[in-house]
A and B are shown apart, each in its own frame.
Chain A
């Protein structure tokens, strides 16, 4: 059993360090972190209850505080405020080695002077385990990760993917309660990354650990996580299953971050008349499903300018005689079963994914660069956001 509970966790980096940076070169303002008297707030009010053996993914753009949060759980970074509980015990001030956690680092962080076997043995040796047991555990882990033939090699003689396997091996031999991973795949090439992602999923079935996984890659987050925590500028924006985040993003940021290709966003108008909502994009009326109408009514949403979002896969082609929107095809990428179109519509680069299966030969011929294209949104799938970004249905 290893539940991890983060209660109002907060991290403040004292001011003196950022002052030093200023002396060098003009500070590049990369993020909009809150700055208080005490310093830069890298993580504010992080609340999360992680269940035993759950796979949690922290995702967000670079500099949003993912690593800081993970490192606070690991004990590599002090916690400025709030409580961190592992297995019901408050561990804010417990030494990293006594928290029963292991971590996989982005740059592998292997001991360069030890062989693969040496690396994997080391944590067990420090625990003064019996040599026979150590040997057996290391070989078992090596077997799982397929690195048995490299056991006597030094890390420098391994490829990136193999090194990361060793790092994972070193983490799992200890059978930790919690396994932390900080962007473990981001140094690998795309193909290897896909392969390793699948292996992490398999690994998860084989070991009894709670996973906390940090990534900036939404695909990794969607495919690996039981639940995803999406962060921005040190603030948690939304916590939910991949499906929840995909279907009901709390704001335009989450909507844009989750899903590939990105959700299309348009400036539109929302009209309310006697409890009936309609959306207008330019002069075209966009249907809103009854389910969504209900939620808007419940939130007492008024008529207002809105940002209307629609995912590329929820755009369908429309006939000339149906209500439709129009754009000009700029780029057409044939992907086999679907074609990805970039159309210039109402001043926006609009991406749509059209399943080729549903197209007539005539229609297929018309999809060509420079041609006009008529399309419509699925009323069930439009997302309605206030101009400040908040989802009006939530």
Chain B
């Protein structure tokens, strides 16, 4: 048995790359999670002294009607977003993958929303919803448009979906384009000779072969939508009358300025587990549909 293990060059490179990432991940992911759990066990208000209260916060999260309402809103938002974003970005990707002029330029343009910050986009759309659309509505005499939809408890969430989708579509489209490019051209050609065109071609050939990319997109999109924050911050601040209060926004708002730091830490911890559970559920279900090529 050799006692002294000497590191080979490969192992050194491997560790050199791995360790900094592990440290960063620990500092910015694991540590906050642990601290969050810790504060969840207290009645900390964000300032001053605090006491341990056991699991009381964790139990109360499930009884709190405002938390329940924010979960309902967040799920409604996330599901509508995921469906809308994926349908639209798949259609866009199909278009941008076909033989059209200037498709590379178009691909670039469609990606722009992704590089703009969520808040910036949010404020731009806020301006559009608050001033431009009502002005247009008034001028054209469309009463539906003449009041800002951000002020409507029934429709404000749709505005957030529009902004979120406008941004989310960019990344999903790029992923779908790369997915479509993995389908070999000669498989489509074989299909053409067999008589598989149009919808049949999409349903029988394209869709099954890009299943792995659909999984990635659904999981990423769902996760991002569940954690929606920037758009709400910029557009509605959870209003009107808490109708667009997402979980993240509630955690931030009431945790930071509502004196509920301990309670919202517990909420955040549970939310983390919910998101992990949803992602695992999605990958297992969809993974079964993926073709191992």
A residues contacting B by CB (< 8 A) are: 74-76, 95-97, 101-103, 105, 107, 109-113, 122-123, 126-127, 156, 170, 174
Contact = CB atoms under 8 A, between A and B. Distances in A.
CB-CB nearest 8 A-B residue pairs = A97-B195, A109-B186, A123-B194, A113-B291, A126-B195, A109-B190, A113-B208, A112-B293
27 contacts: A74-B193, A75-B193, A76-B193, A96-B192, A96-B193, A97-B192, A97-B193, A97-B194, A97-B195, A103-B190, A103-B193, A105-B186, A105-B189, A107-B184, A109-B189, A110-B187, A111-B190, A112-B187, A112-B209, A112-B291, A113-B208, A113-B293, A122-B204, A123-B195, A126-B195, A156-B293, A170-B190
A122 B191 CA distance: 9
- The prevalent SS among residues of B at the interface is helix
B10 interface: no
B286 interface: no
A107 B188 CA distance: 13
Contacts of B204: 111, 122
Given A96-B193, A101-B193, A123-B195, A113 B209 contact: yes
A92 B144 CA distance: 54
Nearest to A104: B190
Given A97-B195, A109-B186, A109-B187, 16 more contacts: A76-B189, A76-B193, A97-B193, A103-B190, A109-B184, A109-B190, A110-B190, A111-B191, A112-B291, A122-B194, A123-B194, A123-B195, A126-B194, A126-B195, A156-B293, A170-B190
A105 B187 CA distance: 9
B215 interface: no
B205 interface: yes
Nearest to A107: B186
A111 B195 contact: no
B224 interface: no
Given A74-B193, A97-B193, A109-B190, A126 B291 contact: no
A97 B184 CA distance: 19
Contacts of B292: 156
B253 interface: no
B282 interface: no
Given A122-B204, A126-B200, A156-B293, A105 B190 contact: yes
Contacts of B191: 111
Contacts of A96: 192-193
A97 B197 contact: yes
B147 interface: no
Nearest to B207: A113
B196 interface: yes
Contacts of A97: 192-195, 197
B208 to A, nearest CB: 4
A2 to B, nearest CB: 15
Contacts of B192: 75-76, 96-97
Contacts of B291: 112-113
A350 to B, nearest CB: 43
A105 B184 CA distance: 12
A308 B23 CA distance: 78
B103 to A, nearest CB: 13
Interface in B95-118: none
B43 to A, nearest CB: 56
B174 to A, nearest CB: 22
B127 to A, nearest CB: 42
A97 B204 CA distance: 16
A112 B200 CA distance: 16
Contacts of B208: 113
Nearest to B292: A156
B246 to A, nearest CB: 38
Interface in B243-293: 291-293
A150 B183 CA distance: 24
A102 B205 CA distance: 18
A111 B207 CA distance: 12
| Most chain B CB atoms below 10 A, which of A103, A127, A170 | A103
A111 B194 CA distance: 11
B7 to A, nearest CB: 39
A76 B186 CA distance: 10
A152 to B, nearest CB: 15
A249 to B, nearest CB: 34
